[in-house]
Structure 1
Amino acid sequence: VVEHSGTMRSGHYVAYIRGREAKDCQKAENDGHCVESTWYRISDTFVRKLSLSEVLQSEAYLLFYEKITC
């Protein structure tokens, strides 16, 4: 997730990145998910760990998708 603040001529971009660790692919036990996620907010030289609810409050300017298969 990329978020932009400011104007079209001047502004700042912040990235919200999902890191993940592979888990056992027991889809039935994990509601169909085989990864555990940790979210980070990255802005220039600053990185902060976030909860999913904090990420969902961002106003996305650009989204990147990744297909995850087990």
Structure 2
Amino acid sequence: MMVAKDRLHARETVSKAQTDIDLRNDAAAIERLADAAELLARLADEDEESETESTDGPIESAVERIGRAR
């Protein structure tokens, strides 16, 4: 559940950065994009850790990842 919230937060942050870019507020856009990049990197690390811990086969792992994405 936390992963879904983090992904949603990252999407919202990128959307706000796009608005900042449209408004020519470059400093705010850069800060928001850096925040989103940090969050996505952490999520990628967590995904990688969970994949290495799993003993399931590739199909089971894919089903599990799809379930977590929902």
Normalising by structure 1, report the TM-score.
Answer: 0.28
Higher RCO (C-alpha under 8 Å, 6+ residues apart) = 2
Larger % of helix: which? 2
The TM-score, its normalising length taken from structure 2, stands at 0.28
